[in-house]
Structure 1
Amino acid sequence: MKGILGRKVEMTQIFTEDGRLVPVTVVEVLPNTVLQVKTLEKDGYVATQLGVQDKRANLVNKPETGHFKKATSAPKRYVKEIRNMEGFEFGTQVTADQIFVSGEFVDVTGISKGKGFQGSIVRHNYSRGPMGHGSGYHRGVGSMGAIINRIFKSKKMPGHMGHAKTTIQNLEVILVDAANNLMLIKGSIPGPKNQFVQVKQNVKGLKALEAAKLLSRKATIVEETPVVEAAPVVEAPIVEETSNVEEKPVVEESTTEVAE
Protein backbone atom coordinates (compact mmCIF):
# COMPACT_ATOMS: atom_id res chain seq x y z
CA MET A 1 0.00 0.00 0.00
CA LYS A 2 1.19 3.49 -0.79
CA GLY A 3 -0.33 6.94 -0.54
CA ILE A 4 0.17 10.66 -0.07
CA LEU A 5 -1.69 13.65 1.36
CA GLY A 6 -2.88 16.57 -0.73
CA ARG A 7 -5.38 19.39 -1.03
CA LYS A 8 -8.20 19.68 -3.54
CA VAL A 9 -7.83 22.86 -5.60
CA GLU A 10 -10.46 22.86 -8.35
CA MET A 11 -11.85 20.99 -11.34
CA THR A 12 -10.91 21.67 -14.95
CA GLN A 13 -10.62 19.86 -18.25
CA ILE A 14 -7.76 18.92 -20.54
CA PHE A 15 -7.40 17.53 -24.03
CA THR A 16 -5.41 14.56 -25.24
CA GLU A 17 -3.51 14.46 -28.49
CA ASP A 18 -6.24 12.33 -30.10
CA GLY A 19 -8.86 15.00 -29.33
CA ARG A 20 -10.54 13.50 -26.22
CA LEU A 21 -11.73 15.89 -23.50
CA VAL A 22 -10.94 14.63 -19.99
CA PRO A 23 -12.52 16.19 -16.87
CA VAL A 24 -9.93 16.27 -14.07
CA THR A 25 -9.59 17.40 -10.47
CA VAL A 26 -6.44 19.36 -9.59
CA VAL A 27 -4.87 18.19 -6.33
CA GLU A 28 -2.00 20.16 -4.79
CA VAL A 29 0.48 17.68 -3.35
CA LEU A 30 3.18 19.50 -1.41
CA PRO A 31 6.11 17.43 -0.11
CA ASN A 32 4.87 15.26 2.78
CA THR A 33 6.98 14.82 5.90
CA VAL A 34 7.32 11.37 7.46
CA LEU A 35 6.41 12.08 11.09
CA GLN A 36 6.39 8.50 12.35
CA VAL A 37 7.19 5.01 11.10
CA LYS A 38 5.18 2.27 12.83
CA THR A 39 6.41 -1.32 12.80
CA LEU A 40 4.85 -4.66 13.61
CA GLU A 41 7.25 -5.34 16.48
CA LYS A 42 6.77 -2.04 18.28
CA ASP A 43 3.25 -0.89 17.37
CA GLY A 44 1.50 -4.08 16.27
CA TYR A 45 0.93 -2.94 12.69
CA VAL A 46 2.82 -1.38 9.80
CA ALA A 47 2.06 2.21 8.86
CA THR A 48 3.67 5.51 7.90
CA GLN A 49 2.42 8.76 9.38
CA LEU A 50 2.54 11.71 6.99
CA GLY A 51 1.99 15.43 7.54
CA VAL A 52 1.50 18.28 5.10
CA GLN A 53 1.19 22.09 5.15
CA ASP A 54 2.78 24.05 7.97
CA LYS A 55 0.80 25.93 10.61
CA ARG A 56 1.66 28.37 13.37
CA ALA A 57 3.31 27.04 16.49
CA ASN A 58 0.80 28.75 18.81
CA LEU A 59 -1.95 26.52 17.39
CA VAL A 60 -0.26 23.34 18.63
CA ASN A 61 -0.35 21.96 22.18
CA LYS A 62 2.72 20.65 24.01
CA PRO A 63 2.29 16.92 23.23
CA GLU A 64 1.91 17.67 19.51
CA THR A 65 4.86 20.05 19.62
CA GLY A 66 7.09 17.30 21.00
CA HIS A 67 5.83 14.89 18.35
CA PHE A 68 6.76 17.24 15.52
CA LYS A 69 10.07 18.14 17.18
CA LYS A 70 11.18 14.51 17.10
CA ALA A 71 10.85 14.52 13.32
CA THR A 72 12.62 17.92 13.14
CA SER A 73 9.58 19.25 11.36
CA ALA A 74 7.38 22.32 11.65
CA PRO A 75 3.83 21.71 12.97
CA LYS A 76 1.60 20.28 10.24
CA ARG A 77 -2.02 21.09 9.59
CA TYR A 78 -3.06 17.70 8.17
CA VAL A 79 -1.66 14.48 9.64
CA LYS A 80 -2.76 10.98 8.62
CA GLU A 81 -1.47 7.40 8.65
CA ILE A 82 -1.19 5.25 5.55
CA ARG A 83 -1.54 1.61 6.56
CA ASN A 84 0.94 -0.98 5.23
CA MET A 85 3.13 1.76 3.73
CA GLU A 86 6.82 1.18 4.30
CA GLY A 87 10.19 1.97 2.81
CA PHE A 88 10.47 5.60 3.93
CA GLU A 89 12.76 6.86 6.65
CA PHE A 90 11.70 8.90 9.65
CA GLY A 91 11.86 12.66 9.03
CA THR A 92 12.30 12.49 5.25
CA GLN A 93 10.26 14.22 2.54
CA VAL A 94 7.91 12.32 0.22
CA THR A 95 6.80 13.78 -3.13
CA ALA A 96 4.04 12.73 -5.50
CA ASP A 97 6.36 11.52 -8.26
CA GLN A 98 7.97 9.06 -5.80
CA ILE A 99 4.59 7.43 -5.15
CA PHE A 100 2.46 7.58 -8.30
CA VAL A 101 2.90 7.72 -12.06
CA SER A 102 0.49 8.64 -14.83
CA GLY A 103 -1.97 5.88 -15.71
CA GLU A 104 -2.30 4.41 -12.19
CA PHE A 105 -5.65 3.95 -10.45
CA VAL A 106 -6.09 5.45 -6.98
CA ASP A 107 -8.67 5.71 -4.20
CA VAL A 108 -9.30 9.23 -2.88
CA THR A 109 -10.65 9.72 0.65
CA GLY A 110 -11.97 12.99 2.02
CA ILE A 111 -14.81 14.70 3.89
CA SER A 112 -17.82 15.21 1.61
CA LYS A 113 -19.64 18.52 1.29
CA GLY A 114 -22.11 19.23 4.08
CA LYS A 115 -25.74 19.66 2.97
CA GLY A 116 -27.42 20.37 6.31
CA PHE A 117 -30.72 18.84 7.43
CA GLN A 118 -32.48 17.07 4.56
CA GLY A 119 -35.69 15.10 4.20
CA SER A 120 -35.92 11.45 3.34
CA ILE A 121 -36.51 12.13 -0.38
CA VAL A 122 -33.24 14.03 -0.78
CA ARG A 123 -31.24 12.07 1.79
CA HIS A 124 -32.31 8.53 0.85
CA ASN A 125 -33.82 9.00 -2.62
CA TYR A 126 -37.34 8.07 -1.50
CA SER A 127 -40.27 8.48 -3.89
CA ARG A 128 -42.91 11.07 -3.05
CA GLY A 129 -46.67 10.59 -3.03
CA PRO A 130 -49.21 12.11 -5.45
CA MET A 131 -49.13 15.90 -5.49
CA GLY A 132 -52.86 16.34 -6.11
CA HIS A 133 -54.97 18.25 -3.58
CA GLY A 134 -56.94 15.15 -2.67
CA SER A 135 -53.88 13.18 -1.67
CA GLY A 136 -53.12 13.12 2.02
CA TYR A 137 -49.49 12.09 1.51
CA HIS A 138 -46.90 14.11 -0.42
CA ARG A 139 -43.31 14.08 0.87
CA GLY A 140 -43.63 12.12 4.09
CA VAL A 141 -41.28 9.53 5.52
CA GLY A 142 -43.66 6.59 5.17
CA SER A 143 -44.30 3.65 7.44
CA MET A 144 -42.25 3.36 10.63
CA GLY A 145 -42.53 -0.43 10.66
CA ALA A 146 -44.06 -2.65 13.33
CA ILE A 147 -46.03 -0.94 16.12
CA ILE A 148 -43.88 -1.73 19.15
CA ASN A 149 -43.50 1.85 20.42
CA ARG A 150 -39.98 2.31 19.16
CA ILE A 151 -38.02 2.88 15.93
CA PHE A 152 -35.74 0.13 14.72
CA LYS A 153 -32.07 0.91 14.26
CA SER A 154 -30.88 1.89 10.78
CA LYS A 155 -34.32 3.22 9.83
CA LYS A 156 -33.83 5.73 7.02
CA MET A 157 -35.28 9.02 8.19
CA PRO A 158 -34.66 12.76 7.71
CA GLY A 159 -31.50 14.11 9.30
CA HIS A 160 -28.05 15.58 8.77
CA MET A 161 -26.68 14.89 5.29
CA GLY A 162 -23.10 15.09 4.05
CA HIS A 163 -19.92 16.10 5.91
CA ALA A 164 -18.92 12.45 6.24
CA LYS A 165 -15.81 10.46 5.39
CA THR A 166 -16.17 9.34 1.78
CA THR A 167 -13.95 7.34 -0.56
CA ILE A 168 -14.14 7.36 -4.36
CA GLN A 169 -12.43 4.31 -5.84
CA ASN A 170 -10.62 3.57 -9.09
CA LEU A 171 -9.82 7.07 -10.29
CA GLU A 172 -7.16 7.37 -12.97
CA VAL A 173 -4.09 9.55 -12.48
CA ILE A 174 -3.79 11.61 -15.65
CA LEU A 175 -0.67 13.62 -14.82
CA VAL A 176 1.87 14.00 -12.01
CA ASP A 177 3.48 17.44 -12.24
CA ALA A 178 6.42 17.30 -9.86
CA ALA A 179 7.66 20.77 -10.81
CA ASN A 180 4.44 22.46 -9.66
CA ASN A 181 3.49 19.89 -6.96
CA LEU A 182 0.24 19.00 -8.71
CA MET A 183 -1.68 15.87 -9.60
CA LEU A 184 -4.48 15.67 -12.18
CA ILE A 185 -7.00 12.94 -11.31
CA LYS A 186 -9.77 11.99 -13.71
CA GLY A 187 -13.27 12.63 -12.35
CA SER A 188 -14.51 14.20 -9.14
CA ILE A 189 -13.27 13.63 -5.60
CA PRO A 190 -14.98 14.26 -2.23
CA GLY A 191 -15.09 17.61 -0.50
CA PRO A 192 -15.19 21.32 -1.33
CA LYS A 193 -12.29 23.39 -2.62
CA ASN A 194 -9.21 23.55 -0.35
CA GLN A 195 -10.28 20.30 1.36
CA PHE A 196 -7.48 17.95 2.42
CA VAL A 197 -7.66 14.47 0.89
CA GLN A 198 -5.77 11.18 0.99
CA VAL A 199 -4.68 9.71 -2.34
CA LYS A 200 -3.97 6.00 -1.91
CA GLN A 201 -3.27 2.96 -4.03
CA ASN A 202 -6.50 1.31 -5.18
CA VAL A 203 -7.49 -1.68 -3.05
CA LYS A 204 -9.12 -3.57 -5.93
CA GLY A 205 -5.80 -4.03 -7.67
CA LEU A 206 -6.62 -2.55 -11.06
CA LYS A 207 -3.61 -2.50 -13.34
CA ALA A 208 -2.22 0.78 -14.56
CA LEU A 209 -3.02 1.95 -18.06
CA GLU A 210 -0.78 3.60 -20.58
CA ALA A 211 -0.28 7.25 -19.71
CA ALA A 212 -2.47 9.57 -21.75
CA LYS A 213 -0.65 11.88 -24.12
CA LEU A 214 -1.84 15.37 -23.29
CA LEU A 215 -2.09 18.33 -25.59
CA SER A 216 0.25 21.01 -24.26
CA ARG A 217 -0.95 24.60 -24.35
CA LYS A 218 2.61 25.90 -24.26
CA ALA A 219 3.63 24.10 -27.42
CA THR A 220 4.41 26.61 -30.15
CA ILE A 221 4.58 25.89 -33.85
CA VAL A 222 7.36 27.76 -35.64
CA GLU A 223 6.41 28.35 -39.26
CA GLU A 224 8.86 29.46 -41.89
CA THR A 225 7.93 32.89 -43.12
CA PRO A 226 7.96 33.02 -46.93
CA VAL A 227 10.52 35.37 -48.45
CA VAL A 228 8.74 38.01 -50.50
CA GLU A 229 10.86 39.44 -53.30
CA ALA A 230 10.80 43.18 -53.65
CA ALA A 231 8.82 44.39 -56.65
CA PRO A 232 10.86 46.14 -59.32
CA VAL A 233 10.72 49.91 -59.19
CA VAL A 234 8.91 51.26 -62.23
CA GLU A 235 9.77 54.85 -63.09
CA ALA A 236 6.71 56.92 -63.79
CA PRO A 237 6.73 58.72 -67.15
CA ILE A 238 7.37 62.42 -67.00
CA VAL A 239 4.24 64.27 -67.95
CA GLU A 240 4.69 67.86 -69.11
CA GLU A 241 2.37 70.36 -67.61
CA THR A 242 -0.04 71.88 -70.04
CA SER A 243 -1.78 75.16 -69.57
CA ASN A 244 -5.53 75.34 -69.59
CA VAL A 245 -5.54 78.31 -71.99
CA GLU A 246 -6.56 77.23 -75.48
CA GLU A 247 -4.34 78.54 -78.26
CA LYS A 248 -6.22 80.38 -80.97
CA PRO A 249 -5.43 79.27 -84.53
CA VAL A 250 -3.38 81.77 -86.60
CA VAL A 251 -5.27 82.98 -89.69
CA GLU A 252 -2.91 83.73 -92.61
CA GLU A 253 -3.63 86.81 -94.77
CA SER A 254 -4.62 86.15 -98.32
CA THR A 255 -1.98 87.16 -100.89
CA THR A 256 -4.13 86.69 -103.99
CA GLU A 257 -3.80 89.62 -106.40
CA VAL A 258 -6.97 91.10 -107.77
CA ALA A 259 -6.98 91.61 -111.55
CA GLU A 260 -7.57 95.11 -112.73
Structure 2
Amino acid sequence: MKVILGRKIKMAQIFDEKGNAIPVTFVLAGPCKVLDVKTKEKDGYFGVKLGFEEIENKKIKKSKKHQPFKVIKEFRAKSEEDLKDFKEGQEINVSSFQEKEKVCVAGTTKGKGFQGGVKRWGFSGRNATHGMKHEERTLGSVGSTRPARVIKGKKMPGRTGGERLTIKNLEIVKIFPKENIIAIKGAVPGRKGTLLEIVKREKE
Protein backbone atom coordinates (compact mmCIF):
# COMPACT_ATOMS: atom_id res chain seq x y z
CA MET A 1 0.00 0.00 0.00
CA LYS A 2 1.17 3.53 -0.87
CA VAL A 3 -0.47 6.66 0.54
CA ILE A 4 0.21 10.40 0.46
CA LEU A 5 -1.68 13.63 1.14
CA GLY A 6 -1.63 16.64 -1.16
CA ARG A 7 -3.28 19.84 -2.36
CA LYS A 8 -4.81 20.39 -5.80
CA ILE A 9 -2.89 23.08 -7.72
CA LYS A 10 -4.53 23.37 -11.15
CA MET A 11 -5.44 21.53 -14.36
CA ALA A 12 -3.25 21.72 -17.45
CA GLN A 13 -2.09 19.53 -20.32
CA ILE A 14 1.09 17.56 -21.01
CA PHE A 15 2.25 16.40 -24.44
CA ASP A 16 3.52 12.83 -24.86
CA GLU A 17 6.21 11.56 -27.28
CA LYS A 18 3.70 11.37 -30.14
CA GLY A 19 2.51 14.94 -29.59
CA ASN A 20 -0.86 13.98 -28.07
CA ALA A 21 -2.23 16.38 -25.45
CA ILE A 22 -3.03 14.64 -22.14
CA PRO A 23 -5.27 16.53 -19.66
CA VAL A 24 -3.69 16.37 -16.19
CA THR A 25 -4.21 17.73 -12.69
CA PHE A 26 -1.13 18.96 -10.81
CA VAL A 27 -1.11 17.97 -7.14
CA LEU A 28 1.36 19.26 -4.54
CA ALA A 29 1.86 15.97 -2.68
CA GLY A 30 3.75 15.65 0.59
CA PRO A 31 6.10 15.49 2.25
CA CYS A 32 4.14 13.61 4.91
CA LYS A 33 5.37 12.15 8.19
CA VAL A 34 4.28 8.78 9.59
CA LEU A 35 2.96 9.58 13.08
CA ASP A 36 1.77 6.10 14.06
CA VAL A 37 1.42 2.58 12.67
CA LYS A 38 -1.72 0.79 13.91
CA THR A 39 -1.55 -2.96 14.49
CA LYS A 40 -4.15 -5.61 15.31
CA GLU A 41 -2.55 -6.47 18.66
CA LYS A 42 -2.19 -2.88 19.89
CA ASP A 43 -5.19 -1.08 18.33
CA GLY A 44 -7.51 -3.82 17.06
CA TYR A 45 -7.03 -2.95 13.38
CA PHE A 46 -4.34 -2.23 10.79
CA GLY A 47 -3.68 1.33 9.66
CA VAL A 48 -1.24 4.20 9.33
CA LYS A 49 -1.55 7.81 10.55
CA LEU A 50 0.06 10.59 8.48
CA GLY A 51 0.79 14.23 9.25
CA PHE A 52 0.81 16.83 6.45
CA GLU A 53 1.78 20.53 6.37
CA GLU A 54 3.98 20.96 9.43
CA ILE A 55 3.27 23.99 11.63
CA GLU A 56 6.06 26.46 12.42
CA ASN A 57 7.48 26.28 15.96
CA LYS A 58 6.28 29.75 16.94
CA LYS A 59 2.71 28.94 15.83
CA ILE A 60 2.33 25.57 17.59
CA LYS A 61 -0.34 25.43 20.31
CA LYS A 62 0.29 23.38 23.44
CA SER A 63 -2.34 20.83 22.44
CA LYS A 64 -0.53 20.15 19.13
CA LYS A 65 3.07 20.03 20.38
CA HIS A 66 3.24 16.22 20.13
CA GLN A 67 1.86 16.25 16.55
CA PRO A 68 2.55 19.70 14.99
CA PHE A 69 0.69 19.28 11.67
CA LYS A 70 -2.24 21.14 10.10
CA VAL A 71 -3.65 17.92 8.62
CA ILE A 72 -3.64 14.52 10.35
CA LYS A 73 -5.26 11.61 8.49
CA GLU A 74 -5.50 7.90 9.12
CA PHE A 75 -5.62 5.23 6.41
CA ARG A 76 -6.93 1.73 7.09
CA ALA A 77 -5.04 -1.31 5.82
CA LYS A 78 -6.32 -4.84 5.22
CA SER A 79 -3.32 -6.72 6.57
CA GLU A 80 0.09 -6.36 8.18
CA GLU A 81 1.63 -6.93 4.74
CA ASP A 82 0.27 -3.53 3.60
CA LEU A 83 2.15 -1.77 6.41
CA LYS A 84 5.58 -3.35 5.86
CA ASP A 85 6.96 -0.16 4.23
CA PHE A 86 5.78 2.21 7.01
CA LYS A 87 7.77 3.07 10.13
CA GLU A 88 7.00 5.67 12.77
CA GLY A 89 8.87 8.93 12.10
CA GLN A 90 9.44 8.08 8.43
CA GLU A 91 8.99 10.80 5.78
CA ILE A 92 6.89 10.02 2.69
CA ASN A 93 7.25 11.97 -0.55
CA VAL A 94 6.36 11.59 -4.23
CA SER A 95 9.37 9.34 -4.89
CA SER A 96 7.44 6.42 -3.35
CA PHE A 97 5.14 6.49 -6.42
CA GLN A 98 6.01 5.66 -10.02
CA GLU A 99 4.85 6.99 -13.36
CA LYS A 100 2.03 5.04 -15.10
CA GLU A 101 0.83 3.68 -11.75
CA LYS A 102 -2.94 3.60 -11.15
CA VAL A 103 -4.11 5.34 -7.97
CA CYS A 104 -7.34 6.29 -6.20
CA VAL A 105 -7.86 9.99 -5.43
CA ALA A 106 -10.36 11.12 -2.77
CA GLY A 107 -11.41 14.66 -1.91
CA THR A 108 -14.34 17.03 -1.34
CA THR A 109 -16.21 18.20 -4.43
CA LYS A 110 -16.95 21.86 -5.18
CA GLY A 111 -19.95 23.16 -3.25
CA LYS A 112 -22.71 24.50 -5.55
CA GLY A 113 -25.19 25.65 -2.91
CA PHE A 114 -28.96 25.08 -3.19
CA GLN A 115 -29.78 23.99 -6.76
CA GLY A 116 -32.88 22.94 -8.66
CA GLY A 117 -33.66 19.54 -10.14
CA VAL A 118 -32.36 20.40 -13.63
CA LYS A 119 -28.84 21.22 -12.43
CA ARG A 120 -28.72 18.80 -9.50
CA TRP A 121 -30.09 15.67 -11.19
CA GLY A 122 -30.05 16.48 -14.91
CA PHE A 123 -33.85 16.67 -15.32
CA SER A 124 -34.96 17.81 -18.80
CA GLY A 125 -37.47 20.38 -17.53
CA ARG A 126 -40.94 21.06 -18.99
CA ASN A 127 -42.07 22.30 -22.41
CA ALA A 128 -41.24 25.89 -23.34
CA THR A 129 -44.53 26.24 -25.26
CA HIS A 130 -48.00 24.60 -25.57
CA GLY A 131 -49.55 26.62 -22.78
CA MET A 132 -46.62 26.42 -20.34
CA LYS A 133 -45.76 29.56 -18.40
CA HIS A 134 -42.88 29.92 -15.90
CA GLU A 135 -42.58 26.11 -15.83
CA GLU A 136 -39.44 25.45 -17.89
CA ARG A 137 -37.27 24.20 -15.00
CA THR A 138 -39.86 22.81 -12.58
CA LEU A 139 -39.94 19.15 -11.54
CA GLY A 140 -43.44 18.14 -12.60
CA SER A 141 -45.19 15.49 -10.53
CA VAL A 142 -43.47 14.38 -7.31
CA GLY A 143 -45.80 11.51 -6.43
CA SER A 144 -49.09 9.69 -7.04
CA THR A 145 -52.53 9.99 -5.42
CA ARG A 146 -51.71 6.93 -3.38
CA PRO A 147 -49.97 6.78 -0.94
CA ALA A 148 -50.70 10.56 -0.99
CA ARG A 149 -47.22 11.49 0.15
CA VAL A 150 -43.76 11.99 -1.33
CA ILE A 151 -41.74 8.76 -1.31
CA LYS A 152 -38.44 8.91 0.61
CA GLY A 153 -35.39 9.37 -1.61
CA LYS A 154 -37.27 11.32 -4.29
CA LYS A 155 -34.89 13.42 -6.40
CA MET A 156 -35.70 17.04 -5.56
CA PRO A 157 -33.94 20.42 -5.30
CA GLY A 158 -31.39 20.77 -2.49
CA ARG A 159 -27.79 21.33 -1.46
CA THR A 160 -25.44 20.24 -4.23
CA GLY A 161 -21.74 19.36 -4.06
CA GLY A 162 -19.47 19.65 -1.04
CA GLU A 163 -19.42 15.85 -0.67
CA ARG A 164 -16.60 13.35 -0.40
CA LEU A 165 -15.84 11.68 -3.73
CA THR A 166 -13.34 8.96 -4.65
CA ILE A 167 -12.19 8.46 -8.24
CA LYS A 168 -10.49 5.13 -8.94
CA ASN A 169 -7.83 4.03 -11.44
CA LEU A 170 -6.36 7.42 -12.31
CA GLU A 171 -2.97 7.21 -13.98
CA ILE A 172 0.12 9.07 -12.79
CA VAL A 173 1.46 10.72 -15.96
CA LYS A 174 4.54 12.48 -14.57
CA ILE A 175 6.33 13.02 -11.25
CA PHE A 176 8.43 16.06 -10.35
CA PRO A 177 10.46 14.96 -7.26
CA LYS A 178 12.20 18.31 -6.61
CA GLU A 179 8.92 20.26 -6.54
CA ASN A 180 6.92 17.46 -4.80
CA ILE A 181 4.36 17.56 -7.63
CA ILE A 182 2.41 14.67 -9.19
CA ALA A 183 0.62 15.06 -12.55
CA ILE A 184 -2.48 12.83 -12.53
CA LYS A 185 -4.40 12.09 -15.73
CA GLY A 186 -7.89 13.60 -15.83
CA ALA A 187 -9.86 15.58 -13.26
CA VAL A 188 -9.91 15.12 -9.49
CA PRO A 189 -12.51 16.37 -6.96
CA GLY A 190 -12.55 19.90 -5.59
CA ARG A 191 -11.32 23.41 -6.28
CA LYS A 192 -7.75 24.74 -6.18
CA GLY A 193 -6.27 24.04 -2.74
CA THR A 194 -8.56 21.09 -1.96
CA LEU A 195 -7.00 18.44 0.30
CA LEU A 196 -6.59 15.16 -1.61
CA GLU A 197 -5.83 11.61 -0.48
CA ILE A 198 -3.82 9.59 -3.01
CA VAL A 199 -3.84 5.84 -2.36
CA LYS A 200 -2.33 2.92 -4.24
CA ARG A 201 -3.39 -0.53 -3.02
CA GLU A 202 -1.92 -3.81 -4.18
CA LYS A 203 -5.02 -5.19 -5.94
CA GLU A 204 -5.90 -1.95 -7.78
TM-score (norm: length of structure 1): 0.69
What residue in structure 2 maps to residue 216 of structure 1?
none
| Contact persistence 1:37–1:90 (CA under 8 A) | yes
Q: What is the RMSD computed on CA atoms of the aligned residues? A: 2.1
The answer to whether 1:109 aligns with 2:106 is yes
| Contact persistence 1:109–1:198 (CA under 8 A) | yes
Determine what percentage of the aligned residue pairs are the same residue.
40
Distance 2:150 2:46 in 1: 42
Post-superposition shift, 1:11?
Answer: 1.0
Larger RCO: Structure 1 or Structure 2 (Cα < 8 Å, ≥ 6 residues apart)?
2
Pick one of 130, 135, 139 that aligns with 2:132. 135
Distance 2:4 2:152 in 1: 37
Alignment map for 1:1-260 (pairs within 5 Å) = 1-55=1-55, 60=61, 62=63, 65=64, 67-68=66-67, 75-84=68-77, 85-87=82-84, 88-98=86-96, 100-132=97-129, 134-135=131-132, 137-146=135-144, 147-148=146-147, 150-201=149-200, 205=204
Post-superposition shift, 1:60?
Answer: 5.0
Alignment gaps of 5+ in structure 1: 69-74, 206-260
Alignment gaps of 5+ in structure 2: none
Distance 1:176 1:40 in 2: 34
TM-score (norm: length of structure 2): 0.87
Post-superposition shift, 1:20?
Answer: 1.3
- Alignment-mate amino acid for residue 37 of structure 2: V
Post-superposition shift, 1:43?
Answer: 1.5
Residues 103/148 of structure 1: CA separation in 2 closer, same or farther (3 Å cut): same
| Contact persistence 2:143–2:149 (CA under 8 A) | no
Distance 2:202 2:62 in 1: 35
Deviation track 1:11-47 (CA, whole Å, cap 9, x = no partner) reads 1111112211111111111210111111111222111
The higher radius of gyration belongs to 1
Q: Which has the higher strand share?
A: 2
Residues 125/134 of structure 1: CA separation in 2 closer, same or farther (3 Å cut): same
SS of 1:172's equivalent?
strand
Distance 1:60 1:155 in 2: 47
Distance 2:131 2:30 in 1: 60
Distance 2:21 2:154 in 1: 42
SS of 2:127's equivalent?
coil
Runs of 4+, deviation exceeding 6 Å: none
Distance 1:178 1:78 in 2: 21
Distance 1:66 1:151 in 2: 52
Distance 1:141 1:203 in 2: 45
- Alignment-mate amino acid for residue 141 of structure 2: S
- Alignment-mate amino acid for residue 21 of structure 1: A
SS of 1:190's equivalent?
coil
Distance 2:121 2:175 in 1: 37
Post-superposition shift, 1:203?
Answer: 7.8
| Contact persistence 2:51–2:72 (CA under 8 A) | yes
- Alignment-mate amino acid for residue 163 of structure 1: G
